[in-house]
Structures are given as structure tokens and as C-alpha cells.
Structure 1
């Protein structure tokens, strides 16, 4: 069965769900469609070397105008995901890098390893703020914090919108590094103040308009909210982060030790 037939009979994806996602995206239609097609390719639903449906077929499948489909394919061609062959059609590139899944591990070392290659995009910075209310078990607040709102990316893919608070005394140790890199990764490299514990709590929410726009999701799509607190040996909070993660890119891993009976 060729790729066009696969797409049109629904074996590859649910066309109605795809059209709903496109209708509810806050992005320009051609960008939203290019992201959707990118996901189809990177997840292996259009394997390397596969011929894509024609412009007319894609237009019908996704309920988009031909000019919108053409623009979306142009984005994918510029990114090297597809090849256009004169007189033959459009094909998935022979080599496609799969999407990276973000693993939120309970292990400190594994968590730091996951951060390698991830990039922050700064949205808001405030130099001297108080910490939001802490839960009793989370620790004691420092005198002041640096607040940052960021979008975290892996490659070109945004996967998290995060509000984080970093102890100003920590920030002063490496301000340039904290401004440009992943904050927890910098904390791990510094070695001072000595990190004692990181706690994480997780719950499922629905993406609001702002988060949906920043993460390229439909409004109301499920996102995972992670509240993360890092403390030193004295129980002082060095870092508080509240992030909302794309549910389709994130795996939350934890290990429970079972006591001997």
C-alpha cells in the first residue's frame, strides 16, 4: 500500500483529530500543519524514503488550502525532512532524526544527564522577588530570589514552560551561566552551595491559551505540571520551579524501594 492510500484511509492517523488540532492551534496554519507533519515523520508514521501524498490529497486530508499545504511542505524541505523530486513527487528524507523524549527521572544524575543539549528561551526576568508560599515540608526560603519565566526546548521543539525562582546568593556565583543555560544543570556543576535534596510533585492540567501557544498545543490539551524544589544541607530552598510539560514528549520516571518483609 502506498503512502497516499495509507493516509487517506486513516491507517496512519485519525484525519478528524488532525483537523481538530489544526483548527485549535494558536499558530499560523502553515506552521501548525508543518509541526503536525513533522511529528508524523519523526514518529515513523511516514518512514524514510516514503512518498508523501500529493498536494491535493494533503489538502483534502487536513482540510487546508493548497497554498497552506505548500507553505508547510516548504518549512519541512528547509529543515531537511523531505525531498522534492521534479516529476516524481515529495519524499521523506532518507535520514530523519527522531524526536527526543524528555525523561523526568527521580535520580539526580539521570535528571542532569537528561538536561544535556536542552536550551532555555527567556520570556521574563525579575531581579529581586520573594518566594511563593512553600509547603511545610519543602524547606525555608532565602531572603530574595531571581525569577525567570522560560520556554525549554530540545532542538527546535518546545517542551516546557517554566516559572522558576533561584536564590540570589546562588545566582551571584555564576550569573552569565544561569542566564544562558539550564539552571539546574548549572547548579549541579557549581558544587556550591551543596545540593542536598530535590523533590518533585506531578499533576495533570489543561493547557491555557498562553501555554498552548508557547508549546504549540491545542487549548485544553493535557499538560503535566511538575513542581520541583531543591534544598541545601541546611534545608534552605535554592530553587523552586513550576513547569508545564507537553504530555506527548515527557515521561515521568520514579522508583519505589520495596522494604523487606
Structure 2
């Protein structure tokens, strides 16, 4: 239903299908349709009017404002001014699972879960395993600002790899609650692993982005243009 508003299939001012019609179309219980309408009312997208029906009353906020970086410098810049709300910190955490190409585990890790905000609205949940020796250098800074920018300011660490994988996922109960979205709604999931010059995975982050803020933009001909000029 939100996608229909975003895509313009349901225009602002349009009267949407009845609850009975939506129940039949989506093949779900009537209570589910009512819950969905109430959720979209709270977001300012729908307005239920007694005796008249339900109408589209607005457009999604901050639609696709975040462009996920495809180079490391842009990634660092994109998080530099993020507003974080720290949710959970565990100073002695179990190590993260690492793929074969993601380096070797550090001796120990701290685990930090945070929610990042844009204009007072949550847009991502970050689950971060950070090498504990790095975390202990500046506990306060790591629990109040984006860890990525702090790491880049450290003179005694050299990064050899920054592995990033982007997939489409769905919100589990915890992510849904933190992002204020429905359970099972689509999310853009990013895994970022920083490996130092000793092949140690010092930063292992799994980030869940609110689908309405996320986009991946690139010029697919950019490399071709450079090759042509050469």
C-alpha cells in the first residue's frame, strides 16, 4: 500500500479501495488491513474519513535521499554528520562470523548497536563489532559518533580492505521497532568489513536501512568515458 502511494498509483486526494476489497486483493485478514491503514495514517500518507472512506493525504517523507556510497571516501563522508542514538553496548562480545575473504578475527570485540537519525526520524540500525583494542582507545567517542570516522582519524591503523555487500532484507522484530516500521517490511541491508594491514577484521558492521530513504545511484558509463578519453 505504501508502494502504491510512493509510485503514484494512488495519487494524493484519491480514495483508495475499501477494506473489503483490499482484504480480498491482498489475501490477508481484515484486521491486518486495518493495522496497515492505521500505520500509514500515522505516517501522514492516508486519512480515514467517517462515512466517506480512506483517502491519500500525503507523500512519503525523505524519499530516497540517501545514496549508498560505492567508494570508501564517500562512505566515510556520508556518515560524518550522522546523529546517533546509542541503544546497546557490550564491551566483551562474542566475535562476529567472518567469510573467508573478510580477514581474521581480532583478539576480542566490543559490540555496539545504534540507531541513526535524519530530521528526527530513524533511518538505519547499525550492529557493529569493533576490535576491542580500538574501542578502548576512546570509549566515549565511539559511543556518541560514527565509529567509521573515528577509525579514519587513527594514525596507528592502516586499512587494507573495505568489503561491502548490499542486499535486500526484511525487518525483524527488533529492527522494525527501532526504525518504527512494520514487521517484515523491506530493508536495504549493508555489510561493511574493514580489514587492517595485518589481515584483522577490525570493524564488522551490519546495517539495516529504512527502505524509503535508500537508493543506489551510479553512472554506469563513467568508466567507459574515462577509457574513451584515454
Q: Is the 8 A contact 1:197 1:232 kept in 2?
A: yes
Which residue does 1:61 correspond to in 2? 54
The reply to whether residue 104 of structure 1 matches residue 68 of structure 2 is yes
The residue number in structure 2 matching 1:23 is 35
Residues 164, 192 of structure 2: 8 Å contact kept: yes
User: Separation in 1 of the partners of 2:137 and 2:99?
Assistant: 27
> Could you tell me whether the CA contact under 8 Å between 1:118 and 1:155 is conserved in 2?
no
TM-fit CA distance, 1:117: 2.4
Deviations 1:135-155 (A, max 9, x none): 111001111011011111122
1:217/1:174 CA distance change after superposition, 3 Å:
same
CA distance in 1, matches of 2:138, 2:82: 19
What CA distance in whole angstroms lies between the structure 2 residues aligned with 1:21 and 1:190?
51
Preserved contact between residue 203 and residue 225 of structure 1 (Cα < 8 Å)? yes
Going from structure 1 to structure 2, the CA distance change for 1:15 and 1:123 (only over 3 Å counts) comes to farther
Q: In structure 2, list runs of 5 or more residues that go unmatched.
A: 1-8, 20-31
Rounded Cα–Cα distance in structure 2 between residues aligned with 1:164 and 1:141: 14
In structure 2, the partner of 1:72 is none
Q: Tell me the distance in 1 between the aligned counterparts of 2:73 and 2:212.
A: 24
Kindly tell me the number of residue pairs found equivalent between the two proteins.
201
Shift of 1:99: 6.1
Structure 1: where are the runs of 5+ without partners? 1-8, 41-52, 64-68, 70-96
User: Are 1:100 and 1:154, in contact at CA under 8 Å, matched by a contact in 2?
Assistant: no
Partner of 2:3: none
1:36 to 14, 22, 44: 44
How far apart are residue 11 of structure 1 and its match?
Answer: 2.5
C-alpha displacement at 1:103, in angstroms? Answer: 1.9
